Amino acid sequence: MATARELGEVEKANASGLPPVVFVHGLWLLAGSWAPWREMFEAAGFATIAPGWPDDPETVAEGRANPRLFAGKSVGAVTSHYAELIGRLKRKPAIVGHSFGGLITQKLAGMGLATVSVPIDPAPGRGVLPLPLSALKASFPVLSNPANRSKAVMLTYGQFRFAFANAVPEGEARKLYDEFPVPAPGLPLFQAAVANLNPGSQTRVNRANPDRGPMKFLSGQRDNTVPWAITNASYKKQRDHESVTEIEELPGRGHSLVFDSGWEQVAETALVFVQDHHG
């Protein structure tokens, strides 16, 4: 169910008459992680909406204190939540998503709900085959225990350092860990892990919809969680679409690229693509 904040952002976007942009966060993060991006996009003339996943708390402190709030959230349920909110907008939005939010961004675009989309280091959907060792290590804290399928899992600092903050200095990594991660549902990672064995997987993306719109993949060159091999394989699944489809590798960036000290470069790259292709 949509929250009062989410509905208020949709109403504000509709009232503004400005082209909307929807931001989709991934595992271990909250909607608030997009705050600097929203400021940049709003300064450029867009109305922004940053929904949470269903039942997400509003603050990191609340999330860490109540890990059960995150448990059991599936890719399908999260996608439906965003689709319902997008359906309330008077204008079709651009969509920008990171990690599992990048996979959900592709799913929403494949449903014809985006004018233009930017998946950033997207989690692999069905049909994406590469599985680098670093990606296995990054997901090990969840996938190592089958019981985590129905639970929420918090990363230790060491796990966060490897999976997210490997490309920033130690001091910054510790600061990011204090400010951003919350427990995350294990279910999406289990869904992705068996996607290629399940024809009906919720990670499946409709890559043939002619209304998909332009799409640009962004890949952090040092990302351990979603290395280039995974992002490039996702791009190759989309590149034959009739709409513009691009990919760009960002040198020296890890999985924390959307909220660490170099976020501006990533946001500016996404903003330029959205500006060039937003209907």
Mean pLDDT to the nearest integer, 186-205: 94
User: How high is the pLDDT of residue 113?
Assistant: 98
Banded model confidence at residue 100, pLDDT cuts 50, 70, 90: very high
Percent of the residues in the chain that have a pLDDT greater than 90, as a whole number? 97
Task: Specify the pTM.
Answer: 0.97
pLDDT digits (tens, 9 = 90+) for 111-127: 999 999 999 999 999 99
Mean pLDDT to the nearest integer, 187-206: 94
Residue 131 has pLDDT above 90, yes or no: no
Average pLDDT of every residue of the chain: 97
Residue 130 has pLDDT above 90, yes or no: no
* 8 Å CB contact between 95 and 74: no
pLDDT digits (tens, 9 = 90+) for 238-263: 999 999 999 999 999 999 999 999 99
User: How high is the pLDDT of residue 241?
Assistant: 97
Name the CATH topology of 4-277. Answer: Rossmann fold (3.40.50)
List the chain domain ranges.
4-277
Residue 279 has pLDDT above 80, yes or no: no
